[in-house]
Amino acid sequence: SQSCPDGAKRRVCYYYDRSIAGVDYGEDHVMVPRHVDMAHALIRSYGLLGDMARLRTRPATDAEISGFHDARYVRLLRDLTPEGFGAGGEVARRARGCNVGAVSTDGRSVDNPPVAGLWDYCQRYAGGSLAAARALASGEADVAINWSGGMHHACLDKASGFCYVNDIVLAIDELLGHFRRVLYVHIDVHHGDGVETAFRRFRRSNRVMTVSFHQRTEGFFPERRGLLEHVGEGAGRLRAVNVAIKKGMDDDGYCRLFEPIMSEVMAVFQPEAIVMQCGADSLSGDRLGHQNLSIAGHARCVRFMRSFNMPLLLLGGGGYTVNHVAACWCYETTVAIGKEIGDDIPTHSYDGYYRRQGYKLFYPVDKKI
Protein backbone atom coordinates (compact mmCIF):
# COMPACT_ATOMS: atom_id res chain seq x y z
CA SER A 1 0.00 0.00 0.00
CA GLN A 2 1.08 3.58 -0.53
CA SER A 3 1.42 4.51 3.12
CA CYS A 4 3.11 1.32 4.16
CA PRO A 5 5.48 0.08 1.44
CA ASP A 6 7.09 -2.56 3.63
CA GLY A 7 3.68 -3.86 4.69
CA ALA A 8 4.65 -3.80 8.35
CA LYS A 9 2.87 -2.03 11.19
CA ARG A 10 4.82 -0.20 13.86
CA ARG A 11 4.05 0.36 17.52
CA VAL A 12 3.59 4.11 17.62
CA CYS A 13 3.36 6.37 20.65
CA TYR A 14 2.18 9.93 20.45
CA TYR A 15 2.58 12.96 22.69
CA TYR A 16 0.15 15.84 22.79
CA ASP A 17 -0.37 18.44 25.52
CA ARG A 18 -3.20 20.87 24.89
CA SER A 19 -1.72 23.66 27.03
CA ILE A 20 1.07 24.06 24.45
CA ALA A 21 -1.49 25.09 21.87
CA GLY A 22 -2.56 28.08 23.99
CA VAL A 23 0.90 29.70 23.91
CA ASP A 24 0.82 33.05 22.19
CA TYR A 25 3.97 34.48 20.56
CA GLY A 26 2.09 37.72 19.86
CA GLU A 27 -0.45 38.99 17.40
CA ASP A 28 1.91 39.63 14.48
CA HIS A 29 4.11 36.61 15.07
CA VAL A 30 4.28 33.85 12.48
CA MET A 31 4.80 31.03 15.00
CA VAL A 32 1.39 29.81 16.10
CA PRO A 33 1.60 26.80 18.44
CA ARG A 34 -2.10 26.27 17.84
CA HIS A 35 -1.07 24.43 14.66
CA VAL A 36 -0.26 21.50 16.96
CA ASP A 37 -3.83 21.56 18.25
CA MET A 38 -5.07 21.69 14.66
CA ALA A 39 -2.93 18.68 13.78
CA HIS A 40 -4.18 16.86 16.86
CA ALA A 41 -7.83 17.63 16.03
CA LEU A 42 -7.30 16.31 12.50
CA ILE A 43 -5.54 13.19 13.79
CA ARG A 44 -8.46 12.59 16.15
CA SER A 45 -11.09 13.26 13.48
CA TYR A 46 -9.48 10.66 11.19
CA GLY A 47 -9.71 8.17 14.06
CA LEU A 48 -5.96 7.72 14.38
CA LEU A 49 -5.72 8.05 18.17
CA GLY A 50 -6.85 4.44 18.54
CA ASP A 51 -3.82 3.31 16.50
CA MET A 52 -1.26 4.84 18.87
CA ALA A 53 -0.41 4.69 22.55
CA ARG A 54 -0.79 8.13 24.10
CA LEU A 55 2.35 9.28 25.92
CA ARG A 56 1.37 10.95 29.15
CA THR A 57 4.31 12.49 30.88
CA ARG A 58 5.44 15.18 33.26
CA PRO A 59 7.00 18.41 32.02
CA ALA A 60 10.81 18.27 31.74
CA THR A 61 12.51 19.25 35.00
CA ASP A 62 15.00 22.08 35.42
CA ALA A 63 17.71 19.44 35.86
CA GLU A 64 16.78 17.70 32.62
CA ILE A 65 16.79 20.96 30.67
CA SER A 66 20.11 21.90 32.31
CA GLY A 67 21.50 18.69 30.83
CA PHE A 68 22.17 20.81 27.76
CA HIS A 69 21.37 24.43 28.58
CA ASP A 70 23.49 26.78 30.63
CA ALA A 71 22.24 27.18 34.23
CA ARG A 72 22.04 31.00 33.99
CA TYR A 73 19.98 30.78 30.83
CA VAL A 74 17.65 28.24 32.47
CA ARG A 75 17.19 30.61 35.42
CA LEU A 76 16.38 33.44 33.05
CA LEU A 77 13.73 31.42 31.19
CA ARG A 78 12.22 30.45 34.53
CA ASP A 79 12.19 34.06 35.79
CA LEU A 80 10.88 35.61 32.60
CA THR A 81 7.37 37.02 32.45
CA PRO A 82 5.98 39.60 30.01
CA GLU A 83 5.35 41.89 33.01
CA GLY A 84 8.89 41.58 34.37
CA PHE A 85 10.21 42.17 30.89
CA GLY A 86 7.97 45.15 30.30
CA ALA A 87 9.25 46.87 33.44
CA GLY A 88 12.63 47.14 31.67
CA GLY A 89 14.47 45.94 34.77
CA GLU A 90 17.29 43.51 35.20
CA VAL A 91 15.30 40.57 33.80
CA ALA A 92 14.88 42.48 30.52
CA ARG A 93 18.62 43.17 30.45
CA ARG A 94 19.46 39.51 31.08
CA ALA A 95 16.90 38.47 28.47
CA ARG A 96 18.40 40.71 25.80
CA GLY A 97 21.76 39.03 26.32
CA CYS A 98 20.07 35.70 25.64
CA ASN A 99 18.34 36.91 22.48
CA VAL A 100 14.90 37.02 24.08
CA GLY A 101 12.96 40.12 23.11
CA ALA A 102 15.71 41.15 20.69
CA VAL A 103 14.22 43.38 18.03
CA SER A 104 14.95 42.29 14.47
CA THR A 105 16.21 44.57 11.73
CA ASP A 106 12.79 45.86 10.67
CA GLY A 107 12.40 47.27 14.18
CA ARG A 108 8.99 45.71 14.77
CA SER A 109 8.92 41.95 14.88
CA VAL A 110 10.57 40.06 17.68
CA ASP A 111 11.70 36.52 16.92
CA ASN A 112 11.84 35.31 20.52
CA PRO A 113 9.36 37.30 22.61
CA PRO A 114 9.05 36.88 26.40
CA VAL A 115 5.78 34.99 25.99
CA ALA A 116 3.41 34.38 28.91
CA GLY A 117 3.94 30.90 30.37
CA LEU A 118 7.26 30.53 28.56
CA TRP A 119 8.93 28.16 31.01
CA ASP A 120 5.90 25.91 31.29
CA TYR A 121 5.71 25.79 27.47
CA CYS A 122 9.40 24.82 27.21
CA GLN A 123 9.07 22.21 29.94
CA ARG A 124 6.09 20.63 28.21
CA TYR A 125 7.41 20.38 24.67
CA ALA A 126 10.81 19.22 25.97
CA GLY A 127 9.09 16.75 28.34
CA GLY A 128 7.28 15.29 25.33
CA SER A 129 10.47 14.74 23.36
CA LEU A 130 12.22 13.22 26.37
CA ALA A 131 9.32 10.86 27.04
CA ALA A 132 9.25 9.91 23.36
CA ALA A 133 12.99 9.15 23.45
CA ARG A 134 12.50 7.05 26.59
CA ALA A 135 9.69 5.07 24.93
CA LEU A 136 12.05 4.22 22.06
CA ALA A 137 14.95 3.42 24.37
CA SER A 138 12.87 1.01 26.47
CA GLY A 139 11.62 -0.72 23.33
CA GLU A 140 8.04 0.19 24.23
CA ALA A 141 7.56 1.85 20.83
CA ASP A 142 9.05 1.64 17.33
CA VAL A 143 8.05 5.18 16.40
CA ALA A 144 7.45 8.04 18.84
CA ILE A 145 5.85 11.34 17.80
CA ASN A 146 5.93 14.81 19.33
CA TRP A 147 4.65 17.38 16.85
CA SER A 148 5.13 20.14 19.47
CA GLY A 149 8.88 19.46 19.59
CA GLY A 150 11.58 20.03 17.00
CA MET A 151 12.73 23.44 18.29
CA HIS A 152 16.09 23.10 16.67
CA HIS A 153 17.62 26.61 16.76
CA ALA A 154 17.83 26.96 20.55
CA CYS A 155 21.43 27.26 21.67
CA LEU A 156 23.24 26.41 24.91
CA ASP A 157 22.73 29.87 26.40
CA LYS A 158 20.40 31.71 24.05
CA ALA A 159 17.14 31.58 22.18
CA SER A 160 17.05 31.71 18.41
CA GLY A 161 14.47 31.38 15.63
CA PHE A 162 11.40 31.06 17.92
CA CYS A 163 13.14 28.28 19.91
CA TYR A 164 14.06 28.64 23.58
CA VAL A 165 14.86 25.09 24.74
CA ASN A 166 16.39 22.59 22.35
CA ASP A 167 14.25 19.50 22.95
CA ILE A 168 16.06 17.72 20.10
CA VAL A 169 19.46 17.85 21.81
CA LEU A 170 17.85 16.64 25.06
CA ALA A 171 16.14 13.75 23.25
CA ILE A 172 19.30 12.74 21.38
CA ASP A 173 21.27 12.80 24.66
CA GLU A 174 18.62 10.52 26.17
CA LEU A 175 18.90 8.13 23.22
CA LEU A 176 22.71 8.12 23.50
CA GLY A 177 22.27 6.50 26.90
CA HIS A 178 20.88 3.43 25.12
CA PHE A 179 22.08 3.46 21.51
CA ARG A 180 25.64 3.69 20.22
CA ARG A 181 24.96 6.00 17.29
CA VAL A 182 22.04 8.37 16.70
CA LEU A 183 21.22 9.97 13.34
CA TYR A 184 19.53 13.37 13.18
CA VAL A 185 17.66 14.13 9.93
CA HIS A 186 16.26 17.59 9.34
CA ILE A 187 13.79 18.67 6.65
CA ASP A 188 12.70 22.03 8.12
CA VAL A 189 13.41 24.75 5.53
CA HIS A 190 15.78 26.52 7.98
CA HIS A 191 19.17 25.00 8.69
CA GLY A 192 19.29 22.79 11.80
CA ASP A 193 22.01 24.96 13.35
CA GLY A 194 21.29 24.47 17.08
CA VAL A 195 21.53 20.68 16.87
CA GLU A 196 24.58 20.70 14.60
CA THR A 197 26.40 23.16 16.86
CA ALA A 198 25.46 21.26 20.03
CA PHE A 199 27.04 18.02 18.84
CA ARG A 200 29.94 19.57 16.98
CA ARG A 201 31.09 22.36 19.28
CA PHE A 202 29.70 21.57 22.73
CA ARG A 203 29.43 17.79 22.75
CA ARG A 204 32.29 17.07 20.30
CA SER A 205 30.56 13.81 19.58
CA ASN A 206 31.24 11.27 16.88
CA ARG A 207 28.19 9.25 18.01
CA VAL A 208 25.73 11.69 16.45
CA MET A 209 25.50 12.52 12.77
CA THR A 210 23.39 15.51 11.77
CA VAL A 211 22.01 15.78 8.24
CA SER A 212 20.21 19.00 7.37
CA PHE A 213 18.31 19.72 4.13
CA HIS A 214 17.55 23.42 4.11
CA GLN A 215 17.12 26.51 1.95
CA ARG A 216 20.38 28.37 1.46
CA THR A 217 19.70 31.62 -0.37
CA GLU A 218 20.92 35.18 0.17
CA GLY A 219 19.68 36.57 3.51
CA PHE A 220 17.69 33.47 4.43
CA PHE A 221 17.66 32.63 8.17
CA PRO A 222 19.97 31.51 9.76
CA GLU A 223 22.58 33.33 7.69
CA ARG A 224 26.02 31.86 6.98
CA ARG A 225 24.97 28.48 8.40
CA GLY A 226 24.57 25.08 6.79
CA LEU A 227 27.13 25.38 4.01
CA LEU A 228 28.13 22.21 2.20
CA GLU A 229 31.70 22.56 3.47
CA HIS A 230 30.58 22.60 7.13
CA VAL A 231 31.33 18.95 7.88
CA GLY A 232 32.33 19.13 11.55
CA GLU A 233 35.73 19.22 13.20
CA GLY A 234 37.85 17.15 15.55
CA ALA A 235 35.99 14.11 16.90
CA GLY A 236 32.90 15.30 15.07
CA ARG A 237 34.63 15.62 11.69
CA LEU A 238 32.47 14.22 8.87
CA ARG A 239 29.55 13.93 11.27
CA ALA A 240 27.72 16.95 9.85
CA VAL A 241 26.11 16.75 6.44
CA ASN A 242 24.64 19.91 4.97
CA VAL A 243 22.49 19.92 1.87
CA ALA A 244 21.89 23.49 0.75
CA ILE A 245 18.83 23.88 -1.44
CA LYS A 246 17.82 26.71 -3.77
CA LYS A 247 14.27 28.11 -3.96
CA GLY A 248 11.40 26.17 -5.47
CA MET A 249 12.56 22.58 -5.09
CA ASP A 250 9.70 20.20 -5.93
CA ASP A 251 9.02 16.61 -4.80
CA ASP A 252 11.10 15.01 -7.53
CA GLY A 253 14.11 17.26 -7.03
CA TYR A 254 13.97 16.96 -3.24
CA CYS A 255 13.59 13.18 -3.17
CA ARG A 256 16.33 12.77 -5.79
CA LEU A 257 18.64 14.39 -3.24
CA PHE A 258 17.12 12.99 -0.06
CA GLU A 259 16.93 9.30 -0.86
CA PRO A 260 20.45 8.62 -2.19
CA ILE A 261 22.06 10.85 0.45
CA MET A 262 20.16 9.18 3.27
CA SER A 263 20.87 5.69 1.89
CA GLU A 264 24.57 6.49 1.89
CA VAL A 265 24.42 8.04 5.38
CA MET A 266 22.64 4.96 6.73
CA ALA A 267 25.19 2.62 5.14
CA VAL A 268 28.23 4.57 6.32
CA PHE A 269 27.14 5.79 9.78
CA GLN A 270 25.01 2.77 10.72
CA PRO A 271 22.90 4.45 13.40
CA GLU A 272 20.88 2.53 15.95
CA ALA A 273 18.18 5.20 16.28
CA ILE A 274 16.90 8.06 14.12
CA VAL A 275 15.54 11.44 15.14
CA MET A 276 13.73 13.23 12.33
CA GLN A 277 12.71 16.88 12.49
CA CYS A 278 9.72 17.25 10.17
CA GLY A 279 9.48 21.06 9.96
CA ALA A 280 6.58 21.76 7.59
CA ASP A 281 7.90 25.10 6.33
CA SER A 282 9.56 23.23 3.46
CA LEU A 283 6.06 22.72 2.01
CA SER A 284 4.79 24.67 -0.96
CA GLY A 285 2.94 27.84 -0.02
CA ASP A 286 4.64 28.35 3.34
CA ARG A 287 4.70 31.91 4.67
CA LEU A 288 8.47 31.81 5.35
CA GLY A 289 9.91 29.03 3.19
CA HIS A 290 10.17 29.13 -0.60
CA GLN A 291 10.13 25.44 -1.43
CA ASN A 292 7.62 23.58 -3.54
CA LEU A 293 7.18 20.27 -1.73
CA SER A 294 3.75 18.69 -1.57
CA ILE A 295 2.54 16.87 1.53
CA ALA A 296 3.12 13.60 -0.35
CA GLY A 297 6.74 14.60 -1.10
CA HIS A 298 7.44 15.72 2.47
CA ALA A 299 5.90 12.52 3.84
CA ARG A 300 7.86 10.43 1.36
CA CYS A 301 11.00 11.49 3.26
CA VAL A 302 9.41 10.28 6.51
CA ARG A 303 8.35 7.01 4.89
CA PHE A 304 11.86 6.55 3.54
CA MET A 305 13.43 6.91 7.01
CA ARG A 306 10.78 4.63 8.52
CA SER A 307 11.62 1.93 5.99
CA PHE A 308 15.00 1.37 7.72
CA ASN A 309 12.99 -0.16 10.52
CA MET A 310 14.82 1.20 13.52
CA PRO A 311 13.68 3.31 16.50
CA LEU A 312 12.37 6.54 15.00
CA LEU A 313 11.52 9.78 16.78
CA LEU A 314 9.37 12.16 14.72
CA LEU A 315 9.33 15.82 15.73
CA GLY A 316 7.60 18.93 14.41
CA GLY A 317 9.25 22.35 14.20
CA GLY A 318 8.59 25.16 11.74
CA GLY A 319 5.56 25.56 9.49
CA TYR A 320 3.78 28.87 8.96
CA THR A 321 0.71 28.14 6.86
CA VAL A 322 -1.22 26.43 9.63
CA ASN A 323 -3.67 24.39 7.55
CA HIS A 324 -0.77 22.94 5.51
CA VAL A 325 1.20 22.14 8.67
CA ALA A 326 -1.69 20.34 10.35
CA ALA A 327 -2.55 18.36 7.20
CA CYS A 328 1.11 17.38 6.78
CA TRP A 329 1.66 16.16 10.33
CA CYS A 330 -1.66 14.32 10.32
CA TYR A 331 -0.67 12.51 7.14
CA GLU A 332 2.80 11.77 8.52
CA THR A 333 1.13 10.26 11.57
CA THR A 334 -0.60 7.80 9.23
CA VAL A 335 2.75 7.05 7.60
CA ALA A 336 4.20 6.28 11.04
CA ILE A 337 1.30 3.97 11.86
CA GLY A 338 1.18 2.40 8.40
CA LYS A 339 -2.46 3.17 7.72
CA GLU A 340 -4.17 4.71 4.73
CA ILE A 341 -6.70 7.50 5.06
CA GLY A 342 -8.89 9.31 2.56
CA ASP A 343 -8.31 12.78 1.15
CA ASP A 344 -11.60 14.24 2.46
CA ILE A 345 -11.12 16.12 5.70
CA PRO A 346 -13.68 14.93 8.24
CA THR A 347 -15.99 17.41 9.89
CA HIS A 348 -14.29 18.70 13.05
CA SER A 349 -13.68 21.87 15.06
CA TYR A 350 -11.08 23.36 12.67
CA ASP A 351 -12.50 22.18 9.34
CA GLY A 352 -13.18 25.78 8.23
CA TYR A 353 -9.40 26.30 7.93
CA TYR A 354 -9.35 23.81 5.03
CA ARG A 355 -12.00 25.52 2.94
CA ARG A 356 -9.39 27.09 0.59
CA GLN A 357 -7.98 23.65 -0.12
CA GLY A 358 -11.43 22.23 -0.90
CA TYR A 359 -11.52 20.33 2.43
CA LYS A 360 -8.86 17.99 1.01
CA LEU A 361 -5.81 16.81 2.94
CA PHE A 362 -3.52 16.97 -0.11
CA TYR A 363 -3.68 20.60 -1.19
CA PRO A 364 -2.22 21.32 -4.66
CA VAL A 365 1.34 22.67 -4.85
CA ASP A 366 1.91 26.22 -6.01
CA LYS A 367 3.33 26.07 -9.54
CA LYS A 368 4.34 29.77 -9.46
CA ILE A 369 7.39 29.36 -7.19
* Burial class of residue 267 in the structure, from the number of CB atoms within 10 Å of its CB (0-12 exposed, 13-18 middle, 19+ buried): exposed
Stretch that binds Zn ion, among 167-175, 182-190, 226-234, 354-362 (CB under 5 A): 182-190
Shortest distance, position 278 Cβ to ligand V1P, whole Å? 11
Applying CB under 6 A, the span of 26-34, 89-97, 259-267, 339-347 interacting with ligand V1P comes to: 26-34
Burial class (CB in 10 A: 0-12, 13-18, 19+), 44: middle
User: Of 189, 199, 202, which is closest to residue 161 (Cα–Cα)?
Assistant: 189
Interacting span for ligand V1P (CB under 6 A) from 46-54, 56-64, 72-80, 155-163: 155-163
Least gap, CB of 221 to Zn ion (angstroms) = 8
Q: Is 300 among the residues that bind Zn ion (CB under 5 A)? A: no
x/- track of binding to ligand V1P for residues 65-104 (CB under 6 A): ---------------------------------------x
CA 335/CA 351 separation, integer angstroms: 22
- Residue positions counted in the chain: 369
**Catalytic site residue from 40, 153, 214, 298:** 153
Contact between 195 and 186 under an 8 Å Cβ cutoff? The reply is: yes
Q: How far, in Å, CA of 160 to CA of 157, rounded?
A: 10
33 binds Zn ion (CB under 5 A): no
Helix axes 90-97, 71-79, angle to 10 degrees: 130
- Of 30 and 176, CB closest to ligand V1P: 30
From the list 240, 316, 318, the residue with the least C-alpha distance to 282 is 318
221 touches ligand V1P (CB under 6 A): yes
Does position 19 interact with ligand V1P (CB under 6 A)? The reply is no
Q: Assess 32 for contact with ligand V1P (CB under 6 A).
A: no
Type of residue numbered 361 = L
Near Zn ion by CB under 5 A, which window of 124-132, 152-160, 275-283, 351-359?
A: 275-283
CA distance 364 to 357: 8
Q: Which is nearer to Zn ion, 188 or 251 (CB)?
A: 188
**Number of residues binding to ligand V1P, judged by CB under 6 A:** 20
Is 153 tagged catalytic? yes
Sign of CA dihedral 169, 121, 104, 156: negative
Nearest residue to Zn ion, scored by beta-carbon proximity: 318
CB of 177 to ligand V1P, least distance (A): 26
- Based on the shown chain and the rule CB under 5 A, indicate whether residue 286 belongs to the binding site for Zn ion: no
**Which ranges of the chain does DSSP label H, i.e. alpha helix?**
18-21, 34-45, 62-65, 71-79, 82-86, 90-97, 118-137, 167-176, 193-197, 251-269, 295-306, 322-337
**Is 317 a residue that touches ligand V1P (CB under 6 A)?**
yes
CB 212 within 8 A of CB 282: no
Report, as residue numbers or ranges, the catalytic residues.
Answer: 153
Which stretches of the chain bind Zn ion, using CB under 5 A? 188, 190, 279, 281, 318
Which stretches of the chain bind ligand V1P, using CB under 6 A? 28-30, 104-105, 109, 111, 151, 153, 161-163, 188, 190, 221, 279, 281, 288, 317-318
